[in-house]
């Protein structure tokens, strides 16, 4: 603290000390440096005409990275927590929620239900990535689930472009998927994939990755993506 106080005193009469102190204390909102010629990064080029196109490119790159990480201004204001209910939680499209958001003593299902209304089945993409345990996917008009052990199950092509999904998974491996009340997958898998693991549960994307094909962000709309534990229906 005494070292820094000496700089504050010196800045009262020394121009260089005042410059360095102000630069340390007050950073501009954007900085751009030619680091080969200016290794100390003292000459901010962000408003220099010759670098305007470079600044625009870097802003786009930053916004893309922030979007992929769920950290744009809009996402931060919206929040990164699910909407919690007594025995279920809901996640908004485009959001990924960290496992650290859950009390795993409470959210420790033996049966997991995932329900949602999806529009744009013909366009496809990720419906949900559940803590890298499994992924619900719409691809080439088929609806399926891919598990972390490499097994996957897909329905046949669906005529409907929209509808209500209901996915049921039990700790002993029961796998059921229905669209608009019709069972389209009824299988069994070895292992328990219902539990919350380190990572993210997401709606309409894989957290931190901008992928293409069947793993692309969902191209249509996902409404009311809800994860319910143990019982699908309860009295209020």
Residue with more model confidence, 68 or 132? 132
> Looking at the 3D structure of the chain, how many domains does it have?
2
Q: Note down the domain range covering 46.
A: 2-53
| CATH code, domain with 224 | 2.60.120.200
Of 236, 234, 230, 229, nearest in space to 89 by CA: 229
- pTM (2 decimals)? 0.69
- 131 and 35 in one domain? no
- 222 and 154 in one domain? yes
- 91 and 47 in one domain? no
- 203 and 114 in one domain? yes
Query: For strand 111-119 and strand 221-229, is the pairing parallel, antiparallel, or unpaired?
Result: antiparallel
pLDDT tens track for 188-200: 999 999 999 999 9
pLDDT at res. 79: 66
Count other C-beta atoms under 10 Å from residue 153's C-beta.
18
- 207 and 107 in one domain? yes
- Tell whether 169 is covered by a domain: yes
The mean pLDDT value for 95-123 works out to 94
- 166 and 102 in one domain? yes
CA angle 191/192/197 to nearest 5° reads 125
Q: Is the pLDDT of residue 135 over 70?
A: yes
- 196 and 124 in one domain? yes
Of 192, 102, 89, nearest in space to 147 by CA: 192
- 134 and 220 in one domain? yes
pLDDT tens track for 155-211: 999 999 999 999 999 999 999 999 999 999 999 999 999 999 999 999 999 998 888
- Tell whether 101 is covered by a domain: yes
- 187 and 91 in one domain? yes
Helix (H, G, I), strand (E, B) or coil at 215: helix
d(C-alpha 125, C-alpha 205), whole Å: 8
pLDDT at res. 205: 94
- 214 and 130 in one domain? yes
- 126 and 42 in one domain? no
- Tell whether 234 is covered by a domain: no
The mean pLDDT value for 137-146 works out to 96
- Tell whether 171 is covered by a domain: yes
Mean pLDDT computed over every residue of the chain: 91
Q: Is the pLDDT of residue 80 over 80?
A: no
């Amino acid at each position: 603290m005494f070292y820094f106080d000496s700089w504050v005193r010196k800045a009262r009469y020394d121009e260089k000390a005042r410059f360095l102190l102000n630069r340390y204390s007050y950073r501009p909102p954007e900085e751009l440096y030619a680091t080969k010629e200016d290794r100390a990064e003292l000459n901010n080029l962000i408003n220099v005409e010759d670098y305007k196109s470079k600044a625009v490119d870097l802003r786009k790159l930053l916004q893309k990275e922030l979007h992929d990480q769920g950290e744009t201004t809009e996402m931060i204001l919206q929040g990164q927590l699910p909407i919690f209910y007594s025995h279920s939680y809901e996640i908004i499209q485009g959001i990924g929620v960290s496992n650290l958001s859950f009390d795993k003593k409470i959210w420790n299902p033996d049966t997991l239900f995932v329900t949602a209304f999806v529009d744009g089945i013909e366009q496809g993409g990720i419906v949900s990535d559940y803590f890298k345990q499994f992924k619900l996917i719409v691809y080439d008009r088929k609806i399926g689930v891919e598990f972390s052990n490499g097994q996957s199950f897909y329905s046949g092509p669906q005529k409907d472009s929209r509808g209500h999904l209901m996915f049921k998974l039990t700790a002993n491996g029961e796998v059921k998927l229905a669209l608009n009340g019709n069972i389209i997958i009824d299988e069994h898998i070895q292992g328990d994939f219902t539990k919350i693991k380190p990572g993210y549960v997401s709606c309409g994307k894989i957290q931190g990755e901008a992928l293409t094909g069947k793993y692309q962000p969902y191209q249509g709309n996902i409404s009311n993506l809800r994860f319910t534990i143990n019982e699908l229906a309860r009295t209020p």
